[in-house]
Chains A and B, each alone.
Chain A
Amino acid sequence: MFLEIKKLSIKIENKNILRNLNLNINEGEVHAIMGPNGSGKSTLANVLAGKEDYEILEGEVTFKNKNLFELNIEERAQEGMFLAFQYPVEIPGVNITPFLHSAINSKRNRFNQKEIDNLSFAKLLKSKASDLGIDIEMLKRSVNTGFSGGEKKRYEILQMSILNPDLAILDETDSGLDIDALKIVTEGVNKLKTKSNSFLIITHYQKLLDYIKPDFVHVMNNGSIVKSGGSEIASEIEKDGFQQFQ
């Protein structure tokens, strides 16, 4: 099993946010989690990535046969977990290119691989950017600084394609995107999909799933997964809303 979440219960500031949550993801699978606001979807993403303000009440998570909770944020990232943020934060003065260059090398260092030199990295970045239809000029800017909502999301996908994660978690990547931006982002995801990597896509709307075909759809409510199935669930939600699962 690639990612295995067993009976996970999580508390944040004295509030139970996840309750007895179970989820298994295998290599090459695309999973979608849907649910109403406040159902705990984003918390799940942040718990997996390692944000440090939650308390584990019960349960365990293994990622590539390792106990996830024994790894800190950067170790999880270096092991191949990537979180595309719902609200990517601005880091003024930090140029995109050296930022991503350091990121990719930190991953290589963990596995005692040779670092990528400046020139090869610049070439890699350029080619990935043009694949995603990102203007080269954008690569001269500071991380997320002054980006529009669409640019931020596109830049998240660019980072994902550079870091080439084993498990990519997309936290409401579709929110705030118009149809054109949504197409670019989802095309990027589809291009990255291989038999050996997996995706966990968190979304509030069914629209995203018109472009990315998930193998499994889960409905989350009140901190637990209440229903799992194929893409037909997404259509049910579109028709009748989340009410039916509560």
Chain B
Amino acid sequence: MNTETLDKLDSYSKNKYKYGFVTDIDSDKPKKGLNEETIKFISTKKNEPEWMLDWRLNSFSKWKKIKEPKWSNLNFPKIDYQDIYYYSAPKGFEKKPKDLSEVDPKLIETYNKLGIPLEEQKVLAGVAVDVVFDSVSVATTYKGQLEKLGIIFCSISEAIQKHPELVKKYLGSVIPPGDHSFSALNSAVFTDGSFVYIPENVKCPMELSTYFRINSENTGQFERTLIIADKGSYVSYLEGCTAPKRDENQLHAANVELIALEDAEIKYSTVQNWYPGDEEGKGGIYNFVTKRGLCAGNNSKISWTQVETGSAITWKYPSCILKGDNSIGEFYSVAITNNYQQADTGTKMTHIGKNTKSKIISKGISLGKSQNTYRGEVSFLRKADKARNYTQCDSLLVGNKCGAHTVPYIESKNNSAVIEHEASTSKINEDQLYYCRQRGLSHEEAVSLIVNGFCKQVLQELPMEFAVEAQKLVSISLEGSVG
């Protein structure tokens, strides 16, 4: 890349994060720190049954024994778990408001600013939204309409109260609390998140969506989401995330579990836009997320699509356990890192059943001084006859101070497995820029166009309503890039 291009990239307007405001609202918090008292406080606040508290305390005792995973390509100071608030709710949220008239107008305004109106008539047609503010779910739209079909879409806190049999059966069944340190942490202190149950043979008629917002200072957000698709059902679910601009790092450690029974399909899409920190690398969210789906039944399918543009640190490997015969796992990912952002993301596909198929398409774009790693593991167990995997990892570098890394692991215990792997790393091409500009496009438009083209294979997997939004987000993420 010639110097003029580098200068131009440098001169782009500085990183604009338009979701960086803080809502001034009184909140209810326990003392800082992670201990049994904090866990009991959370459980009491949520009026949980004893089995739930026991589960949390049990997870906490596991957490104390497990060390943080160290194998990622990430550099960050040690997290002080005793310097974090583990619960924060706008005052007066002991009970979830019944309707919007009971919600603090400041909250409604916050979501209007974020472009997520809570009034159903204003919400994107065909999308039901559950909204989580710090540690509590503040509103869920279109509930009535979904209930008629037997679909349960509510906060996990509500599900623990109203559907304990489902929660008991499935919570922790895909991600055991003792799996690793962040899963144990989340299991001990999770605060809210979404719960979805789709009954047998029901195709959910609208996109289900959760919107996560971190507002309070020094607060961790520990989201827990559980989605169960019963036999022959289908659901498409999307989550979005934002946080205020702050100089301190904040912790987000989510656990998401998906279960697809026989012939069921779950499509899970994420647009992650947590505050990434400023151009000097100060502040931003530490995003340590465990997402795992179990294709429990034959012919089931789980598909993950993620657009990761935010967070100072992203540590995330949405995975599929392909247990049912003929089950399918897919992972489509765009990860953009700019300035000092670090992302270590990828997937794990575990083939257990016969004729299982998995597909991985990963697009990493690195700008500024950022580091972007794809890490994936594809394994075929002994009984996975005729299983197949296709992996494609492409990295695009913009400028010459960033890094792209690809770490694919493949392990096969079955000789009939078919594995295809393609990988490429390229720099943004001067000739492409010249060509676009010769047609009248500005340098910035040209970069955005080329990068969006590079990601297209993944972006087109997003639900229609969000694809345009994601394209804009990709363009915004490229701003302020330093050569």
Distance A91 CA – B396 CA, assembled complex (angstroms): 13
Distance in Å: Cβ of A71 to nearest Cβ of chain B:
11
**A93's contact among B4, B445, B452, by CB below 8 Å, is which?**
B452
Residues of A within 8 A of B440 (CB): 74, 77-78, 103-104, 106-107, 110, 163
Is the pair B434, A102 in contact by a Cβ cutoff of 8 Å?
no
Given contacts A74-B441, A103-B441, contact A94 B435 (CB under 8 A): no
Given contacts A93-B455, A99-B449, A106-B445, contact A88 B439 (CB under 8 A): no
Given contacts A52-B2, A91-B453, A94-B449, contact A106 B429 (CB under 8 A): no
Given contacts A52-B2, A52-B4, A91-B450, contact A103 B439 (CB under 8 A): yes
Contact with A along B431-448 (1 / 0, CB 8 A): 110111111111101000
User: Which residues of chain A from 48 to 96 have any CB-CB distance to chain B below 8 Å in the complex?
Assistant: 49-53, 72-74, 77-78, 82-83, 85, 88-89, 91-94
**Does B456 count as interface, using CB distance less than 8 angstroms?**
yes
**Does A159 count as interface, using CB distance less than 8 angstroms?**
yes
- CB closest chain-B residue, reference A159: B439
User: Which residues of chain A from 103 to 145 have any CB-CB distance to chain B below 8 Å in the complex?
Assistant: 103-104, 106-107, 110, 142-143
Distance in Å: Cβ of A72 to nearest Cβ of chain B:
8
**B454's contact among A49, A53, A83, A93, by CB below 8 Å, is which?**
A93
Is the pair A92, B453 in contact by a Cβ cutoff of 8 Å?
yes
Distance A106 CA – B452 CA, assembled complex (angstroms): 18
Distance A103 CA – B435 CA, assembled complex (angstroms): 11
Residues of A within 8 A of B412 (CB): none
Residues of A within 8 A of B441 (CB): 74, 102-103, 106
Is the pair A89, B4 in contact by a Cβ cutoff of 8 Å?
no
Distance A143 CA – B439 CA, assembled complex (angstroms): 12
**B442's contact among A52, A91, A93, A106, by CB below 8 Å, is which?**
A106
**A142's contact among B4, B439, B442, B453, by CB below 8 Å, is which?**
B453
Is the pair A94, B453 in contact by a Cβ cutoff of 8 Å?
yes
Given contacts A89-B429, A91-B450, A102-B449, contact A74 B455 (CB under 8 A): no
- CB closest chain-B residue, reference A73: B437
Is the pair B445, A102 in contact by a Cβ cutoff of 8 Å?
yes
Residues of B within 8 A of A78 (CB): 440
Distance A126 CA – B105 CA, assembled complex (angstroms): 50
Is the pair B454, A85 in contact by a Cβ cutoff of 8 Å?
no
Distance A100 CA – B440 CA, assembled complex (angstroms): 10
**A89's contact among B431, B445, B455, by CB below 8 Å, is which?**
B431
Most buried by B among A78, A100, A143: A143
Distance A37 CA – B455 CA, assembled complex (angstroms): 39
**Does B218 count as interface, using CB distance less than 8 angstroms?**
no
Is the pair B432, A89 in contact by a Cβ cutoff of 8 Å?
yes
**Does B457 count as interface, using CB distance less than 8 angstroms?**
yes
Is the pair A85, B435 in contact by a Cβ cutoff of 8 Å?
yes
Contact with B along A139-178 (1 / 0, CB 8 A): 0001100000000000000010001000000000000000
Residues of B within 8 A of A106 (CB): 439-442, 445
Is the pair A89, B435 in contact by a Cβ cutoff of 8 Å?
yes
Distance in Å: Cβ of A192 to nearest Cβ of chain B:
16
- CB closest chain-A residue, reference B458: A93
Distance A92 CA – B453 CA, assembled complex (angstroms): 6
Distance A163 CA – B436 CA, assembled complex (angstroms): 13
Is the pair A73, B434 in contact by a Cβ cutoff of 8 Å?
yes
Given contacts A74-B443, A89-B432, contact A94 B438 (CB under 8 A): no
Residues of A within 8 A of B449 (CB): 91, 94, 99, 102
Residues of B within 8 A of A163 (CB): 439-440
Is the pair B438, A93 in contact by a Cβ cutoff of 8 Å?
no
- CB closest chain-A residue, reference B455: A93
Given contacts A94-B449, A94-B450, A99-B449, contact A73 B438 (CB under 8 A): yes
Is the pair A77, B452 in contact by a Cβ cutoff of 8 Å?
no
Distance in Å: Cβ of B4 to nearest Cβ of chain A:
5
**A77's contact among B439, B443, B454, B456, by CB below 8 Å, is which?**
B439
Is the pair A77, B435 in contact by a Cβ cutoff of 8 Å?
no
Given contacts A52-B2, A89-B432, A106-B445, contact A74 B452 (CB under 8 A): no
Distance A92 CA – B442 CA, assembled complex (angstroms): 19
Distance A114 CA – B2 CA, assembled complex (angstroms): 35
- CB closest chain-A residue, reference B435: A89
- CB closest chain-A residue, reference B454: A93
Distance A185 CA – B452 CA, assembled complex (angstroms): 31
Is the pair B2, A92 in contact by a Cβ cutoff of 8 Å?
no
Distance A92 CA – B424 CA, assembled complex (angstroms): 14
Residues of A within 8 A of B434 (CB): 51-52, 73, 89
- CB closest chain-B residue, reference A74: B437
Closest 3 CB pairs of A and B: A93-B453, A93-B456, A94-B453
For the A-B complex with A50-B438, A73-B438 known, give 6 more contacts whose Cβ atoms are closer than 8 Å. Answer: A73-B434, A78-B440, A89-B431, A91-B453, A103-B439, A107-B440
Residues of B within 8 A of A (CB): 2, 4, 429, 431-432, 434-443, 445, 449-450, 452-457
16 contacts across the A-B interface (CB closer than 8 A): A49-B438, A50-B438, A51-B434, A52-B4, A52-B434, A53-B2, A74-B441, A82-B438, A92-B453, A93-B453, A94-B453, A102-B441, A106-B439, A142-B453, A143-B435, A163-B439
